[in-house]
Amino acid sequence: MGPADLEDIIGSLQSCEDPAGGGGSAPVVIIGPGDDAGVTLIGDTAVVETVDVITPVVNDPFTFGAVSANNSISDVYAMGGRPLTALAIAGFSSCDYDSSVLKEILRGAVHTLCRAGAKLIGGHSFNDAELKFGLSVMGTVDRNRILRVSGASEGDVVILTKPLGVGILATALKGGKLSEEEMRPAIEWMLTLNDRASLAASRAGASACTDVTGFGLLGHAYNMARDAAVDFIIESARVPVLGNVFEMIERGMIPEGAYRNLQFNESRVSFSPGVGEDRKLMLSDPQTSGGLLITMGNEQIKAFEDSSIFYEVIGRVEKGSGNITVK
Ligand code: CO
Ligand code: CO
């Protein structure tokens, strides 16, 4: 979902009474604004809904569509659900792009949805000076195994399932400091589904889960710690990072969002003196289609150890009041 302020406004709006004649069929909201996706109970089915739209992070339209679709369905996985259907949303300028570009973007999105076992069933486009693409996604989740952003508890470990740095590398690609070839590993990660990590977390009974996107690792970790009123201790040296990221930081290839995130983080994260500016920026880098950030009991990591899913234990949860310490 989008920025917290929009979610806050939605959360503050009074919802209407059950429509007259609704009988028992009115949906029951299980999770409202503030989590990765909303969940409602319709009959016996827990339905997950989310929407996300992004601007291009790569040059190739097919790849952009595939990455954007993966970014959108990721919020369903972050709830422990599986995506079923999607609607496309495209901001498109017919003066700047031929309709074949839109077709390629949609082909890419369908490719990702097929891999996830989901179907594109419609969409809407509008005129926009800047190209934008994303999906509104519907899925289902086992109502007893919903992975919320809150729920982390003292003694848990914190794990991350994709390396960081795609925002910095995408900026370097746009800035001509990185070749398409050097960008490839980042693209592969952005195309990697969070399906298996989500299933493993769900089966293991993880205490909390979210996906790392626009607020960067520390922003999303902060939301998890705050919502559960616990402290997170992050070992920055254990955080997985893509190749070339530190070199690109050194060359000034830093997205505006990373600076903005870091500005927030400086006021609410305690950084140990040994954590340099480059590491702070890496931990604040906005991710597209990032990995899952999961908290779980130490013994539950076995679900990941016994699998081929990429993951790294990056920290632990301590008793506290919503603070993050980075060592
Ligand atoms: Co989102
Ligand atoms: Co999310």
Structure confidence at residue 23 (pLDDT): 55
Give residue 212 CA to ligand 2 midpoint distance, Å: 7
**Phi then psi dihedrals of residue 307, to 5 deg:** -115, 175
Give the environment of ion ligand 2: residues with CB less than 5 A: 36, 75, 78, 211
Give residue 263 CA to ligand 1 midpoint distance, Å: 21
H or E stretch at 140: strand 132-141
Give residue 147 CA to ligand 2 midpoint distance, Å: 11
Give residue 75 CA to ligand 2 midpoint distance, Å: 5
Encoded tokens for 36: 């990765």
Q: Do residues 255 and 171 lie in contact, with contact meaning Cβ atoms separated by under 8 Å?
A: yes
Structure confidence at residue 6 (pLDDT): 83
Give residue 218 CA to ligand 2 midpoint distance, Å: 13
Half-sphere exposure at residue 22, Cβ-oriented, CA atoms within 13 angstroms: 12
Structure confidence at residue 18 (pLDDT): 57
Give residue 185 CA to ligand 1 midpoint distance, Å: 23
| 305 vs 57: CA distance, rounded Å | 32
Give residue 173 CA to ligand 1 midpoint distance, Å: 24
SS3 category, 310: coil
Which residues does 16 contact at the CB level (< 8 Å), separation at least 6? none
Give residue 71 CA to ligand 2 midpoint distance, Å: 9
| 137 vs 172: CA distance, rounded Å | 30
Give residue 320 CA to ligand 1 midpoint distance, Å: 27
Structure confidence at residue 17 (pLDDT): 62
DSSP labels for 11-23? HHSPPPPPPTT-T
Give residue 210 CA to ligand 2 midpoint distance, Å: 6
| 77 vs 219: CA distance, rounded Å | 19
Give residue 72 CA to ligand 1 midpoint distance, Å: 7
Report which of 258, 308, 309 is spatially closest to residue 279, judged by C-alpha positions: 258
Encoded tokens for 224: 């998890």
Give residue 3's region: left, alpha or beta (phi > 0; psi -120 to 50).
Answer: beta
* pTM of the entire predicted model: 0.94
DSSP labels for 259-295? HHHHHHHHHHEEEPTT--HHHHHHHHPPPSS--EEEE
SS3 category, 191: helix
| 63 vs 195: CA distance, rounded Å | 19
CA-CA distances (angstroms) from residue 162 to 46, 217, 231, 294? Answer: 27, 11, 22, 11
Give residue 210 CA to ligand 1 midpoint distance, Å: 9
**Mean pLDDT of residues grouped by 10 in the chain (327 residues)?**
71 67 71 94 95 94 98 98 98 86 96 98 94 98 97 97 98 95 97 98 97 97 96 98 98 97 94 96 98 97 94 98 96
**Ligand closest to the CA atom of residue 293:** 2
**Ligand closest to the CA atom of residue 210:** 2
